[in-house]
Amino acid sequence: MKKTDIAMIILIASVSIIVSFFVAKSIFGDVYDGTAKVKTIEKIDSTIVEPSTEIFNKNAINPAIQIQITGTK
């Protein structure tokens, strides 16, 4: 290869890199440098609160117990 061929290949590669950089920048945009506000939660406490007696009582239906319904007449 001649020196002019190598120089032409380098020139074409450089121009294609520059063009692809600007095309990618126009498609994807710039890097976002802003800040984001994130909601935080309260610290989890190790204390146990007694459950409501309206829901958890002795007469409540237990869904874990299997009930068999038979139709006797």
pTM higher than 0.85: no
Q: Which domain holds residue 18?
A: 1-73
- Give the model's pLDDT for residue 52: 80
Region for 22 from its dihedrals, namely left if φ exceeds 0, alpha if ψ lies in -120 to 50, beta otherwise: alpha
Q: How far apart are CA 51 and CA 48, in angstroms?
A: 9
Q: How far apart are CA 58 and CA 56, in angstroms?
A: 7
Please say if the pLDDT value at position 40 is more than 70.
Answer: yes
Residue scoring higher pLDDT (55 or 34): 34
Residue with tokens 């020139």: 11
Per-residue pLDDT tens digits for 52-73: 877 777 777 777 777 777 876 6
The whole-chain average pLDDT of the chain stands at 84
Region for 34 from its dihedrals, namely left if φ exceeds 0, alpha if ψ lies in -120 to 50, beta otherwise: beta
Total structural domains in the chain? 1
